[in-house]
Each structure stands twice: as structure tokens, then as C-alpha cells.
Amino acid sequence: MTKYPAMTELVPHQAPMLLVDELLAWTPEHARVGAKVRAGGPFVVDGRMAASFCLEYMAQAIAAAQGMGARLRGDPASLGVLLGSRELRLEVDALEVGDQLEIEVDREYAEGGLARYACRVLR
């Protein structure tokens, strides 16, 4: 199994805003990231977090994928901006503390500094 760098080396966030835990798999076109919903997290209220925050998990998984590519090129991780979502389908209202998540991101398009990804969060 490949050992990837710590998320703090790939994603330009620090705790408590760093929500993703580890890069599980990576290619230039695909990444899989692990995360756990933790008590005391910035969006957790009464042991639950609104499912809409999955968008932030997806954004951070994309940042990890981009950060890994940058690292292999010898560049530092850089800030990105989520411009929007064409479709967001949520099958639950909330995530629970202790939920183990896997976030998959697939790059569909990249040109210059812009990219488009298809993402999903599994628990």
C-alpha cells in the first residue's frame, strides 16, 4: 500500500478547518480520501453535522488531489476556490459523529488553473 504525505502537507488548511484525514489513493485523474466526523468539529452540533457540509469534504478532497500533483511537481500546495456545483444530491439529512467517510473525486476537465471534478461522499 502506498504511503501518502500528511494532509497538512497537501491541503492549505489547519485544524479545526482541516476535515479530511488521509489520502487513500491517487492518480492525476482520481483520488480517494478518508475522513471521520469528529465531536468538536466546527460544523458539528449535538453530535450531528448537516449533510450539506459534504460539499466542504469534497472541496478538501479536491485540494488533496491537487496538492499531491503539486508536490510531485515540486510546487507547494495552493489555495483553490470552489466556484459552484452543477448538482448536489444528498441522501441523508445529517452525518453523525463517528461516521467514517470516503470521498472520491474524478477530474473531468482541467485547463490552466481551472478544473472540474465529479465527486461523491460514501459512508
In a domain, 15, yes or no: yes
H/E run at residue 50: strand 48-50
In a domain, 2, yes or no: no
pTM of the model: 0.94
Could you list the residue range(s) of the whole structural domain that residue 26 is in? 7-122
Domain count, the chain: 1
In a domain, 83, yes or no: yes
In a domain, 57, yes or no: yes
Pairing status of strand 48-50 against strand 100-111: unpaired
Which domain CATH number covers 14? 3.10.129.10
In a domain, 100, yes or no: yes
Q: How many CB atoms lie within 10 A of CB 98?
A: 10
Q: What is the pLDDT along the chain (123 residues), one digit of tens a residue?
A: 679 999 999 998 988 899 999 999 999 999 999 999 999 999 999 999 999 999 999 999 999 999 999 999 999 888 888 888 889 999 999 999 999 999 999 999 999 888 999 999 999
Pairing status of strand 100-111 against strand 30-36: antiparallel
In a domain, 1, yes or no: no
